[in-house]
Amino acid sequence: MLFGKKTRRITKLLIVEDEPLVAFDTEHFLRDEAFEIVATVDRVADAMVVIRDTGEIDLMLVDVNLADGSGLDVARAAQEAGIPVMFVTGECPAEASAVAVACLDKPYAQRTLLAAIRAVEGVLDGKPPKRLPAGFRLFETA
């Protein structure tokens, strides 16, 4: 089919977010956009279990400031498992570029989140995006 939809590289997501409303909205929006949500967790410890026990995760959306610790620890574990991480946070830490592929500033519009995921997907496919959404940074490690 000449004009068919492109097959997605990123389909399975893990959401690590301790703000219940943000987690709920993100999960439901991304499900509506045909992503599979492997899990939505709100603690570092729970994220570590999912990383260890889940077979396939294409991308993790991780808040940096979690109630029981730092999303940086989650990103390090994901990096060791070969899972790309996009931080979704109010303030992207300087050391984020060492453990994540990108960072999206909160608050963000849903279409901005979708554009950020597509940009990460493009980079993983070897096709850097022409334009980046506002409040979004790709890191060289991507």
How much is the pLDDT for 127?
87
Task: Answer yes or no: is 6 within a domain.
Answer: no
- Render pLDDT for 17-56 as a digit per residue (tens, 0 to 9): 999 999 999 999 999 999 999 999 999 999 999 999 987 9
**Would you state the pLDDT for residue 12?**
97
> Residue 32's domain spans which residues?
12-138
d(CA 81, CA 5): 30
- The count of domains in the chain is 1
Return the CATH number at 68: 3.40.50.2300
5, part of any domain: no
Count of C-beta atoms within a 10 Å radius of residue 7 = 6
Asked whether residue 113 is assigned to any structural domain, the reply reads yes
Q: Is the model's pLDDT at 142 over the cut of 50?
A: no
| In a domain? residue 56 | yes
Average pLDDT of the chain, as a whole number? 92
CB 63 within 8 A of CB 85: no
- Average the pLDDT over 97-110 and give the result: 96
**Cβ(86)–Cβ(102) below 8 Å:** yes
Q: What is the pLDDT of residue 6?
A: 64
pLDDT category, 1, cuts 50, 70, 90? very low
Domain membership of residue 1 (yes or no) is no
- Domain membership flag for residue 37: yes
pLDDT at 118: 94
Residue 3 included in any domain:
no
**Model confidence at 4: pLDDT above 90:** no
| Per-residue model confidence as pLDDT tens digits over 56-82 | 999 999 999 998 999 999 999 999 999
Please tell me the number of Cα atoms within 13 Å of 108 on its side-chain side: 25
Residue 66 belongs to a domain: yes
